[in-house]
Amino acid sequence: MADYKAPLRDMRFVLNEVFEVSKLWAELPALAEVVDADTASAILEEAGKVTAGSIAPLNRSGDEEGCSWDNGAVKTPAGFPEAYQTYAEGGWVGVGGSPEFGGMGMPKVIGAQVEEMVNSANLSFGLYPMLTAGACLSILNHASEELKAQYLPNMYAGVWAGSMCLTEPHAGTDLGIIRTKAEPQADGSYRISGTKIFITGGEHDLTENIIHLVLAKLPDAPAGPKGISLFIVPKVMVNADGSLGEKNALGCGSIEHKMGIKASATCVMNFDGATGYLVGEVNKGLNAMFTMMNYERLGVGIQGLALGERSYQSAIEYARERIQSRAPTGPVAKDKAADPIIVHPDVRRMLLTMKALNEGGRAFSSYVAMQLDTAKYSEDKEIAKRADELVALLTPVAKAFLTDMALETTVHGQQIFGGHGFIREWGQEQLVRDCRITQIYEGTNGIQSLDLMGRKIVGSGGSFYKHLADEIKGFIAAADANLDEFTKPLAAAVQNLDELTAWVLDRAKNNPNEIGAASVEYLQVFGYTAYAYMWALMARAALGKEAQDEFYASKLGTARFYFARLLPRIHSLSASVKAGSESLYLLDAAQF
């Protein structure tokens, strides 16, 4: 496998030339105080060094060794504790954290690039700081000032880690039926009892403490999701002076043996009357948890993108070096017995598909991150509201489409290696295995599709969608004629999505099955159309520079490939949506 190199040139292109993020930061006073183009560039440069130098070398060895469990204690693979200390000392755990409590305060659009780098280097490793950052976000936005001061500084510093304890053996997506209990105590704390499963980083040896955020129900809580509260439950109790006290009444019952991400500890956590502290209001736990959901779901989409990037870097190196057969047009490497496989049309198809989906995904994830920044920091209520609604609309697309495309991309990378792609030592099969979880956790992609179709499209009457459609149409209307080769197919794709959206909205009025029947293919059409917008924006930024710099020539060639070979997928997907729900219900359950 090729050594990982952070795609800094492309990241800078997206941030500085496509989206001109410095202009956005200048319009948001809270960000203008902490970040500018030079600061951002320095952060990305340093993140590229630490991820490539300290974390990427542990990817395969971590997969081979995995985590181990012994009487409640979890050991991470060799090298992980030392690499985590290096990562934490660089301030990377708190890159997006509040400066008030020791974080860097960087915008999400910068954090998104750092996330891509660490997850490309080593997804299992990247999950530990990701869960900590997610826990910090909920604490920052909903906990009392006392709890923030007590927990956030050490979490941002990477001295303590965090976990999110939601899922139970009988309750996954339907969190309203959780059984974990929280009993109020005279001192204002709560006794937490119950079992949580699939808890990433629930136990490990990377930090001296782990701060669990646990969903639980009070004895008199209303039934369903309106009766869920959120609690901080530390692994080790924290004294008033900030020092560590006794171990809390909780433990790791076991770890899961998984298809991938083997160096990430996925734990069964048992809470046996553990001491916990309420975050936010009673029975408002889901509100506090959903504060971080848009960030976490975008983060999972970025994980997929990261794996696709790592797979592409290895595949392109292999395709340039591996020789097999001659080019269809005759020998290219005449001094060799055969030509490099990059000359063959099918290999080029796979490589270009990987490149187009990765670069389109990087632009799209950055675009969504910018909306998160705008929604959080804009002082104009209307601008913030529009951005917040765009985030709501685009988050399920970012999570599901990025990860669906990532599986296609990593499989292509494996395929380019031929038989070597199936062998562990070459590394490509690990990326496929690791990638598969991204379509499942943080809400399966089927659930994301239902969220997009049911809540964000039908639920808003199409108003959220109109924000994006109007923006794209405005871009097309203002574009120069030299962009016609990109804007014309983009306009046709948006018109198709307009019509498809109206079709589903109309059909859903009389048949609720239409929402679920349309959702997966609809999200795919939405994703390809959104990527087309990204590619048109990138083409605009590259056009006219291609003669002076191969980077721009490559960008334009990839854009042309996307519009010619990938965007047309929307037509068959749209036909599937318009086939309706009837064929899904032709069989009785016994006939399957």
**What does the DSSP assignment read for 113-149?**
HHHHHHHHH-HHHHHHHHHHHHHHHHHHHHS-HHHHH
| Residues linked to residue 210 through DSSP beta bridges, in sequence order | 161
Instruction: Map tokens 């060895």 to a residue.
Output: 61
In a domain? residue 222: no
Rounded to whole angstroms, how far apart are CA atoms 530 and 405? 13
Answer yes or no: are the C-beta atoms of 114 and 44 closer than 8 Å.
yes
Handedness of CA 112, 115, 120, 121 (dihedral sign): positive
In a domain? residue 491: yes
In a domain? residue 16: no
Q: Which of 115, 442, 514, 521 is catalytic?
A: 442
Pairing of strands 160-165, 209-216: parallel
Report the candidate in 405, 316, 319, 392 with the shortest Cα–Cα distance to residue 362: 405
Q: 147 CB contacts (<8 Å, ≥6 apart)? A: 139, 232, 277, 279
- Give the pLDDT of residue 175: 80
Report the candidate in 448, 357, 467, 430 with the shortest Cα–Cα distance to residue 173: 448
Burial class (CB in 10 A: 0-12, 13-18, 19+), 30: middle
In a domain? residue 12: no
Answer yes or no: are the C-beta atoms of 229 and 284 closer than 8 Å.
yes
Answer yes or no: are the C-beta atoms of 159 and 206 closer than 8 Å.
no
Q: Look up residue 338 and give its two tokens.
A: 């055969």
In a domain? residue 99: no
In a domain? residue 389: no
Q: Look up residue 578 and give its two tokens.
A: 């318009």
The DSSP secondary-structure symbol of 340 reads B
pLDDT tens-digit readout, 389-439: 999 999 999 999 999 999 999 999 999 999 999 999 999 999 999 999 999
| Residues linked to residue 183 through DSSP beta bridges, in sequence order | 191
Backbone angles phi, psi at 170, to 5 degrees: -105, 0
In a domain? residue 216: no
Number of neighbours of residue 417 by Cβ within 10 angstroms: 22
Q: Which residues does the chain have with pLDDT short of 50? A: none
Map 193-254 to HEC letters: EEEEEEEECCCCCCCCEEEEEEEEECCCCCCHHHHCEEEEEECEEECCCCCEEEECCEEEEE
- Give the pLDDT of residue 272: 98
The SS3 call for residue 379 is: coil
The SS3 call for residue 184 is: strand
Q: 316 CB contacts (<8 Å, ≥6 apart)? A: 342, 351
Answer yes or no: are the C-beta atoms of 412 and 45 closer than 8 Å.
no
In a domain? residue 578: yes
Q: 517 CB contacts (<8 Å, ≥6 apart)? A: 580, 581, 584
Give how many domains the chain has, as a whole number: 1
Answer yes or no: are the C-beta atoms of 537 and 366 closer than 8 Å.
no
Active site residue 208: no
Q: Look up residue 438 and give its two tokens.
A: 């991204």
The DSSP secondary-structure symbol of 328 reads T
Burial class (CB in 10 A: 0-12, 13-18, 19+), 461: exposed
Q: 464 CB contacts (<8 Å, ≥6 apart)? A: 389, 390, 392, 393, 456, 457
Whole-model pTM: value is: 0.97
The secondary element (H helix, E strand) that includes residue 165 is strand 160-165
The DSSP secondary-structure symbol of 436 reads H
- Give the pLDDT of residue 577: 97
- Give the pLDDT of residue 187: 97
The secondary element (H helix, E strand) that includes residue 517 is helix 513-542
- Give the pLDDT of residue 174: 79
Parent domain of 515: 459-584
Answer yes or no: are the C-beta atoms of 539 and 556 closer than 8 Å.
yes
Distant-in-sequence contacts of 265-268, Cβ < 8 A, 24+ apart: 265/67, 265/74, 265/76, 265/200, 265/201, 265/202, 265/203, 265/204, 266/198, 266/199, 266/200, 266/202, 267/74, 267/199, 267/200, 267/201, 267/202, 267/203, 268/195, 268/196, 268/197, 268/199, 268/202
Backbone angles phi, psi at 439, to 5 degrees: -85, -10
Q: Look up residue 316 and give its two tokens.
A: 């392109």
Rounded to whole angstroms, how far apart are CA atoms 341 and 350? 12
Rounded to whole angstroms, how far apart are CA atoms 288 and 307? 30
Instruction: Map tokens 């952070």 to a residue.
Output: 6
